[in-house]
Structure 1
Amino acid sequence: MATVKVSTTKNGTRAMNYAEKRATVKDGLNCEINNAKNEMATVRSFYNKTDNIQAHLVIQSFSHEESQQLGAEKINHLGIELAQKIAPNHQIAVYTHTDKEHFHNHIVMNSVSFSDGSKYHQHHFFDHVKTLNDELAKEHGLSIVTESALERKTMAEIKLEKKGQIPWKQEIRNAVDSTMGDFSVNSYERFKACLNEKGVDVTIRGENVTYELLDSKNKVRGVKLGEDYQKEPILTELSRRSNLGLQQTMSAEANQMRSNELRTAANQERQYQTRKKEFQKEIQQERYIDRGFSL
């Protein structure tokens, strides 16, 4: 069985140094693995996106039985295949560790696309990666782990859920999920207003976002809820939606302008044809008069 864990880092080079130090096998997607750190840093610098999240991290682990069956080279190749599914237009380094019974890949993905400079964001990143990893497992005849999506839950939360109770942190997660599931929410102001309607207040201070359940006054930072509830993923997705809406508006306006131009041209053509007929009629009348005919 192949399982995954996900996280992010603000220091991509440090993450790669750690992963490379213990790697038995290493390879890269869209980069030369021995120069991957420099190549990724160059792309971030070129697009002036060196701050905040520099890399997305995925740990892809295999059972002891499958580790022995597949071997390090094959497991590294499976890491490359998963990387290709996740982000084909990003530079990704895959480092395979074999120092434990469970062989595993450290997959380090540059947050900035080399093709257009966009920053990677996939809401519910863990769910997305797990789905792709399950697809990969099916393709290679590996077993699939049927477990719930990874969120940063405490033991107390897990115990409450086993009793059929909803922990207050989960209430906040549900409110955020529901709000972000509405694609008309495309600004922080709209995001905040919708959460308020659901009984949750949200505040951004510096690099942190804090949620408060209004009924109980319980507060928690996004980092404690999981990656999808942190400041940058939320704002990045809202910005993407806003830009998409602007493009659609501009496209609609352009279509309207073109339609107006066509209508104007058609009116001008009709006016021209009317004047032309009137002019031809006047010419005909003058000819009748010149010939001595009365009209």
Structure 2
Amino acid sequence: MAVVKAINSKSSVSNIINYVADKNKTSEELMYGKDCSSNSDQAIQDMKMTKEIYNKEDGRQYKHFVQSFNPKDNITPQKAHDIGKEWAEKNFKGYEVFMATHTDKDHMHNHFIVNTVNFETGEKYRQSRADLEHYKEISNRICEREGLTPTEPNKNALTSFDNKKYKALEKGAEGNYKSYMLDLWKNVNSSMKQATNREQFIESMKQKGYEVNWSDTRKHITFTTPEGKKVRNSNLSKTFKNEKFTKEGLENEFRRNGEKLREQFRGAQNAPNVDWGAVERSAGSKEDRLSKQSSDGITGEIQRKIREVEERTNRAIGKHDNSSKEFEGKQSDVKRENGRTIEELNRVAKSKDFYPDR
């Protein structure tokens, strides 16, 4: 399938169409005008004239969309161009669209410049989230019909609605450019998925070379990158269209991680056929880290249970007369049963499954 993105910029209609029609990126055969000329210079004049006729030369001048195809499909420029033409015709009734297929990247992609004034009614173009989802769905249907690779949904997909920022991020994603924003996005994602509280998150980011200013008295979190760039979490959330980067979103992720951890703990306690030897082997030698984190909730709980089992064992033994052979057998049973319980709890305490950062 193709990925459809909406991009906003402050360029003029002339500049954006000239960029899209760059001969180093496309060719005349791969340019198309829906309800306007396929010649870039004339398309600019067509769009300007429509604005003049309806006296709507102010405000937003155009909408910019990009339709990118999966490199695995090895799609030809003409096939990408034909799909783009069909997509434009189905989505923008009454609006002029200048389109060009770019072949300068490993993946084929189409650029669409949509005039914001309807040449039939004079109405200004308005787009909602639902509209963008509808555009994506139409693109998916066309691509599916053409037998292209399905696109897997990705909640953390890279998106940006600023043209300059988009170009920088696109280069960074392709490995041709170092983007501190892209690196920050990746590292916040990684630390967010591991941490169960704010402190763990900040420590994880610190180990990656970032400073985190997270205060209850401030509205935003500020990240300082290894390059010394300061970035607010609100900017990160806006750039990547991900609400998880808000304070509330991060706290929710921490809670979910903690709940998942507790479920693993309860499951390990209640599992009837747990291979405790395998758990111990997977944990390895973690005595120093176990000691360091003994105050943590899970480890503390295990230690408390161990003490309870030991006390219960001593009380059970103390109730019986040591001279009685009958009770001597029961004492041995108690020691054996509760000794196994303590051993299992200790093994659980050492298990790396209970510490996300291990």
Greater relative contact order (CA < 8 Å, ≥ 6 in sequence): 1
Q: 1: distance between equivalents of 2:34 and 2:84?
A: 10
Q: Corresponding residue for 1:54?
A: 61
Query: Is 2:38 the counterpart of 1:37?
Result: no
Which segments of 5 or more consecutive residues in structure 1 lack a partner in the other structure? 168-213, 229-295
Q: 2: distance between equivalents of 1:4 and 1:166?
A: 35
- What is the DSSP-based 3-state SS (H/G/I as helix, E as strand, rest coil) of the residue aligned with 1:37? helix
Measured after TM superposition, the shift of residue 165 of structure 1 is 8.2
Query: How big is the alpha-carbon RMSD for the aligned residues of Structure 1 and Structure 2?
Result: 3.4
Which segments of 5 or more consecutive residues in structure 2 lack a partner in the other structure? 161-181, 199-215, 221-231, 242-358
Distance 1:159 1:129, change over 3 A: farther
- What is the DSSP-based 3-state SS (H/G/I as helix, E as strand, rest coil) of the residue aligned with 1:61? strand
Q: Corresponding residue for 2:120?
A: 115
Measured after TM superposition, the shift of residue 95 of structure 1 is 0.4
Q: Corresponding residue for 1:260?
A: none
Q: 2: distance between equivalents of 1:147 and 1:80?
A: 24
Distance 1:226 1:48, change over 3 A: farther
Q: Corresponding residue for 1:162?
A: 193
Q: What amino acid sits opposite 1:121 in the alignment?
A: R
Q: What amino acid sits opposite 1:97 in the alignment?
A: H
Q: 2: distance between equivalents of 1:166 and 1:28?
A: 53
Q: 1: distance between equivalents of 2:61 and 2:196?
A: 38
Distance 1:141 1:216, change over 3 A: same
- What is the DSSP-based 3-state SS (H/G/I as helix, E as strand, rest coil) of the residue aligned with 1:4? strand
Measured after TM superposition, the shift of residue 40 of structure 1 is 0.9
Alignment of 1:167-186 (within 5 A): none
Task: Assess if the C-alpha contact under 8 Å between 1:76 and 1:95 holds in 2.
Answer: yes
Q: What amino acid sits opposite 1:43 in the alignment?
A: T
Q: Corresponding residue for 1:138?
A: 144
Considering fraction of residues, name the structure with more strand.
1
Q: Corresponding residue for 2:21?
A: 20
Q: Deviations over 1:95-115 (max 9, x none)?
A: 011122211111111111111
Q: Deviations over 1:147-191 (max 9, x none)?
A: 236555944553465358899xxxxxxxxxxxxxxxxxxxxxxxx
Q: What amino acid sits opposite 2:19 in the alignment?
A: Y
Q: 1: distance between equivalents of 2:195 and 2:89?
A: 39
- What is the DSSP-based 3-state SS (H/G/I as helix, E as strand, rest coil) of the residue aligned with 2:8? strand
Distance 1:160 1:82, change over 3 A: farther
Q: Which moved more, 1:37-46 or 1:57-66?
A: 57-66
Distance 1:41 1:71, change over 3 A: same
Alignment of 1:245-264 (within 5 A): none
| Counterpart pick for 1:82 among 87, 90, 93 | 87
- What is the DSSP-based 3-state SS (H/G/I as helix, E as strand, rest coil) of the residue aligned with 1:9? coil
Identity of aligned residues (%): 26
Q: Deviations over 1:4-51 (max 9, x none)?
A: 222123422211101101322111111121121111111122222223
Tell me the number of residue pairs that the alignment of Structure 1 and Structure 2 aligns.
182
Q: Deviations over 1:58-96 (max 9, x none)?
A: 1111233434xx422221111111112221221111101
